[in-house]
């Protein structure tokens, strides 16, 4: 009777060890597959290490769900008006020195651009658009 209890408890522990080791193998396979997918597909569709295509340089709220946002896209700095349902290009920063400074500030984790800078560039773009 004692040997039956010992045999039964040994069977239970062997079963637990088999189950845990099988779970470990399955998890290792999932992690390996995830690493392969991340390295192969991620290079094409999810650029992780490279510079982002779109970078938000700063944003200011104008009211409920309305914002003016300064965005860098493909080397240009755009001034966007955003609402809950719309995105409108209000203008763009055209001075190469200011574009360079904004991009450097954004890449170094600098401060948000001053409202005077955005205001002056917006006025300039508005004048050009009105001609």
- In this predicted model, what pLDDT tens digit does every residue of 46-89 receive, in sequence order? 555 566 678 888 888 888 889 999 888 877 889 999 998 999 99
CA 13 – CA 21 distance, rounded (Å): 12
Identify the domain boundary among 48, 70, 85: 48
pTM, full prediction? 0.47
- Check whether residue 44 and residue 83 sit in a common domain: no
- Check whether residue 38 and residue 67 sit in a common domain: no
* 120 burial type by CB count under 10 A (0-12 exposed, 13-18 middle, 19+ buried): middle
């Amino acid at each position: 009777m004692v040997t039956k209890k010992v045999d039964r408890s040994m069977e239970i522990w062997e079963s637990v060890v088999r189950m845990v080791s099988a779970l470990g193998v399955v998890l290792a396979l999932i992690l390996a597959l995830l690493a392969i997918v991340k390295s192969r597909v991620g290079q094409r569709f999810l650029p992780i290490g490279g510079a982002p295509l779109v970078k938000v340089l700063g944003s200011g709220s104008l009211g409920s769900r309305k914002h003016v946002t300064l965005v860098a896209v493909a080397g240009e700095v755009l001034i966007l008006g955003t609402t809950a349902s719309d995105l409108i290009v209000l203008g763009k920063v055209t001075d190469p020195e200011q574009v360079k400074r904004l991009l450097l500030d954004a890449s170094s984790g600098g401060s948000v651009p001053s409202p005077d800078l955005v205001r002056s560039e917006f006025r300039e773009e508005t004048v050009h658009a009105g001609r």
